[in-house]
Amino acid sequence: MLVASSPATNVIQHLENSGHIYFVIGGTLSEVFMYLVKQDDPIEGSFITYNGYSGEIGSSPKISTEPNMSSFPIIEIQKQDLITAETMNTLSKL
């Protein structure tokens, strides 16, 4: 819910050798946080959707304009290592 209420949220996709990494950077006035997910298969669509009433999370090829829905664009990073191999190794042990 905190991510969905952030004023500007993008989901960033980074293709690592063994999978797709998605992360969201957000925060409050005093904290910064990063949620990270690694998957074998890519998320279908260009947007992650969140239904604020039911809590359902999904994906969509287009932005949702319904009042109870939040849409977060997936930004694909193709040729830059945003997360070092050392950091990924540490995260994989969590």
Cβ 73 vs Cβ 10: under 8 Å: yes
Beta-strand pair 47-51/32-39: unpaired
Sequence-distant (6+) residues with CB within 8 A of 27 are 6, 33
Please, what's the b/e burial string for 26-49 (b: 16 or more CB within 10 A of its CB; e: otherwise)? Answer: beeeeeeeeebebeeeebeebbbb
DSSP secondary structure string, 10-35? -EEEEEETTEEEEEEEEE-SS-EEEE
Query: What pTM was estimated for this model as a whole?
Result: 0.65
pLDDT tens-digit series, residues 16-42: 566 777 878 777 788 888 787 888 888
**Closest by alpha carbon to 2, among 40, 38, 42, 29?**
29
Percent with pLDDT over 70 in the chain: 74
Confidence tier at 2 by pLDDT (50, 70, 90):
very low
pLDDT at 54: 94
